A = this chain, B = another copy of it.
């Protein structure tokens, strides 16, 4: 079982490495969206500081979401997904592997970048730390939940945008707790409550989501 998951992760990471662009560009998308906001909203530092948690979290959410369509689409198009569905193991485990790989490629880099971008918004030290921590806990949930949406919209025309339509409502709790944790820190309340709720979402996202995802994949293949 672990071997299978490892094999899936290994393959997906190798594919990501081969494309190179994938990892680097996901990060830069995050950077660019975050940098767009001051351009749209205006450069006053006070205002920017207030916006920071919301903007960073929304950007992380969008960056993750953008990489979702490719989670299964290519495997579907070139027939690999059929092969995975016909493999003699529960499809859910394969999905779990793919979710983990997706997080490593699309989630983790955001976490690492967040402190640097926070500085652009003039955030203080502890707020930066909580921001990073909240992203570290929250992004796995984004990958897990996103997988369900990616599977449901698989092979559906115009899937990419439909996908965001399905997934964003599910992302809202993550966004609220994530940005809330930082806000709470800035305003002097502790972030613990928010963070533990976020942790619960992440656990659910990673370990529960693969099973509906697998079911959706089987439907898409019919």
Contact = CB atoms under 8 A, between A and B. Distances in A.
Interface residues of A, number: 47
A39 interface: yes
Interface stretch (A40-48, A93-101, A188-196, A206-214): A40-48
Interface in A150-181: 156-162, 164-165, 168-169, 172, 175-176, 179
Nearest to A25: B161
Nearest to A32: B168
Given A33-B62, A51-B51, A69 B160 contact: yes
Copies in the complex: 2
B164 A66 contact: yes
A21 B32 CA distance: 27
A20 to B, nearest CB: 7
A58 interface: yes
B159 A21 contact: yes
B21 A41 contact: no
Contact of A66 (B58, B156, B157, B160): B160
Contacts of A67: 160-161
A77 to B, nearest CB: 9
Interface string A21-56: 110011011001100110111100001001101110
Contacts of A172: 36, 39
B20 A158 contact: yes
Nearest to A158: B21
A183 interface: yes
Nearest to A51: B41
Interface in A84-117: none
